[in-house]
Every structure is written in C-alpha cells, then in structure tokens.
Amino acid sequence: MLNHRLLNAPRDTSDFVKSAINFLQKYAKDKKVFCALSGGVDSTATYLLLKKAKINAISAFIDHGLMRLIKGTEEREYVKKFFPDVVIIDIREQFLPKIFGEGDAEVKRKLFKGAYSDIINRFVKEEKCDLLADGTILPDIEESFGVSINDLKETMSIEEELALKEKKIDGFVKSQHNVDIQYNVKATIQPVANLTKDRVRDVLKFFNMPQELIYRKAFPGPALAARIIGPVTPENLDFEKKVHDIVESEIDDYYFKKFGKQMIVNNIGEQEPFQAFAAIGEDIINKKVTGIVNGKRTYEYPISIKGKWDYEKLFRMASTLEGYSRIFYEMERNLEGKYDVVIRSINSKDARTANPTNLPLDFLKQISKKILQFTETKGVFYDLTPKPPGTIEYV
C-alpha cells in the first residue's frame, strides 16, 4: 500500500487550495474515496477539498462511544447538522468492551488504532473504495515518525515509512491513531499533510465555514480515552463526557463574550485557547501522567499546589519541572466524591509546543463550582504545565 501526501503547501490559502485540488485529481480522479469525517478541523478541511475537487468520496463519522458532548449534543448529531451527507457508523458495541479496563496510555492508543482500522477496512471493502483520504497534518507526522516533512516523499510505501521510523525512533513522542496504519485500499491520500492547525483553519475560512467549526478545539484521535487517567469504565466515561462538556462550553462562551469568537491569536502568535477540556482520574496526585523529557515521552507523578494564585510564578515552576510531569493548582475539594477533575486549557501555534492559558481565577472557580455539582466530583485542579515538559493530553 502507498501513502500520497501533499508536501508542497503554498502560503497563500487560495494557492494552497488550488494545489490540493490538483493533487487530489492527480491521485483520486475516477476513483472512489473513503473519508473519515470526525467533525474536527483537519478532517473537515479534507472533506471540503474532496468536494471542491469533485472526487467521488463517501464520508463517514465513526461513533465508537468515546466522542464528546457539545453543549449537551452527541458529536455525531453535531456533525450531521453541518454535513447531512455523512454516513454514521456506530461501533460502540464492538469497540468499547475492547478498551474498558485498560489503563496503559500507549496500549489505549494501540487498541484505538486497531479498532479504528478494522472498521474502516470492513467499510471500504463493502463500499468498494479504492482510496482512503484522511486529515493527517504536519504535527501528527512529526510526533509519530520523529521526522520532518522534508524527510518524506510525495508517494511512499508502508515499508519505506516503517524503515524511516526505525531510523528516527529517538524522536518518537506518541503513536497517532491515523498514522502508520495499513488499510485494504490501494493507497491513502493526505491533502493537508504539510499544514499546521492554524493553516487548516484558514482553509475552513476560505470555504466560508461557520465560526463554530473554524474555531473548534482540537480533539485527540483516541478521543476521551486520552482524557481519562487510568482504565476507562462505563461509569467514568459517562462522568468525563459531562464535565468535559462543561469545561469546553464555558471556556468557549467566555472567549465569545469577550472577543466575539471562541479563539483568538494572542500577542505571541498562539491560538488561544488551542484546546480546552477536562481530564479525570481517581486520586490523580498518585497517578503517573505523561510528560516530555529530551523530546521523548515519559510518565511521572504530578505535583499539586494550593494557596495564593500567582499564574506567572506557577507557570515558571511548571516550565522547569524535574522529576515530575505536571503542576496542578488545587481549587476545590469534596472528600465525598470519587473522581478528580483537571481543567486543561492551552495556547499553541501548532500543538508541538503549548502554554497554559492565563484564565482568571474567579472564572476557573465558576467552572469548578459547576463541576462540583456532580456528586462524583472529589477535587478540581487547573493544569499549569506547558509542553514541554508536559504533554497536552494525558496519554
């Protein structure tokens, strides 16, 4: 199997769209293409480019049960509202039992990757698809392969890519769910492979997409499994969906009221906030979570701080952490609860590095009080760790 990636990405968005259309017509003209449409900006840009290039594409939303709620609405319904032609593939019954009970972060990613590829392979066979298009972007490739885009060719075999990854393994940070998978198609095609997230948003602006789509917060491939520290269970998944929706919705509303949009570009060029979400776990101070040391993924314990709120001081402490993976600021605690909740909001240009968002303490406490309304909540923390030494997600 081959991978076709658009490596030449002109800076001007209009020029990029033209080059992407030429690229898609070069490799996908007169072929049937499967496109997994998650509703995130990367897959949305891929979907829109396929439409613009008049490629015969079938788009599907894979509902594995780990997707978020968006203001109380299941993500698949949210996506269907904007893209009525999307096919919903419900794999909850087959997939969730495979991941329930697994606590190891990298195993979670591999389980997700396996289930994801299995369902796509069955679907493309049934639909007789020739190619698969996905929204792999530049940081996905760099983190999974430990290479720069310049190390790749426009067309590469899986064997060539695996050999390249073996040579560059020291740069490995995590296994992306949509990179390095073999599908039962002649080739995969990746029209946004040379773009960072800000440039993908520019593509959505070019196509006049609604603001709520353009500024959607990035969402990890393994979905909410990446935001549950330790094993996933039916109980903690239900809780995670509820608190995640509160955090993302509250922060979106805060920025919309203040700036008229859910995301801004701040004075150092970061998208603010790039991501905003809740992570949960039982007794999280005594659970190892992910970090990055010397460009490699590591697992260490976090530190919890409480007392006077001083963002700048706490940020400096978190930036120079040694022996720990995170600094959490403790806001509220209910000893009767079961799950600790970490509020995570970060600013970033492209996800390769990130800084915690400097949100007002009174606003964070407002979110905290809403989370504490659930009897399952034990403690609420704010994660002040940049990337590096932390990672954005928790697996």
pTM over cut 0.75? yes
Kindly calculate the radius of gyration of the chain based on its CA atoms and give it in whole angstroms.
20
- pLDDT, tens digit, for every residue of 280-306? 999 999 988 888 877 777 888 999 999
The neighbour count for residue 323, using CB atoms within 10 Å, is 8
Comparing 107 with 13, the larger pLDDT belongs to 13
Comparing 157 with 362, the larger pLDDT belongs to 362
The neighbour count for residue 260, using CB atoms within 10 Å, is 9
- pLDDT, tens digit, for every residue of 40-85? 899 999 999 999 999 999 999 999 899 999 999 999 999 999 999 9
Give 292-320 as a DSSP string: EETTEEEEE-EEEE-SS--HHHHHHHHHT
For residue 202, pLDDT beyond 90? yes
For residue 130, pLDDT beyond 90? yes
Query: How does the average pLDDT of the chain come out, rounded?
Result: 89
Q: In the structure, what pLDDT confidence band is assigned to residue 144 with cuts at 50, 70 and 90?
A: low
Q: In the structure, what pLDDT confidence band is assigned to residue 176 with cuts at 50, 70 and 90?
A: very low
For residue 116, pLDDT beyond 80? no
Q: In the structure, what pLDDT confidence band is assigned to residue 279 with cuts at 50, 70 and 90?
A: very high
- With CA atoms as reference, report the closest residue to 281 among 233, 217, 350: 233
Query: Exposed/middle/buried for 147, CB within 10 Å: 0-12, 13-18, 19+?
Result: middle
Average pLDDT over residues 256-260: 95
- pLDDT, tens digit, for every residue of 16-30? 999 999 999 999 999
Give 9-46 as a DSSP string: --SSHHHHHHHHHHHHHHHHTTSEEEEE--SSHHHHHH
Task: Note the pLDDT of residue 145.
Answer: 63
Query: Exposed/middle/buried for 351, CB within 10 Å: 0-12, 13-18, 19+?
Result: buried
Comparing 255 with 95, the larger pLDDT belongs to 255
For residue 167, pLDDT beyond 70? no
Q: In the structure, what pLDDT confidence band is assigned to residue 168 with cuts at 50, 70 and 90?
A: low
For residue 387, pLDDT beyond 50? yes
For residue 231, pLDDT beyond 70? yes
For residue 179, pLDDT beyond 70? no
For residue 149, pLDDT beyond 80? no
* Domains of the chain, earliest start first: 2-202 (3.40.50.620), 228-383 (3.30.300.10)
Asked if the bond preceding 210 is cis, omega within 30° of 0, the reply is no
Q: What percent of the chain has pLDDT over 90?
A: 63
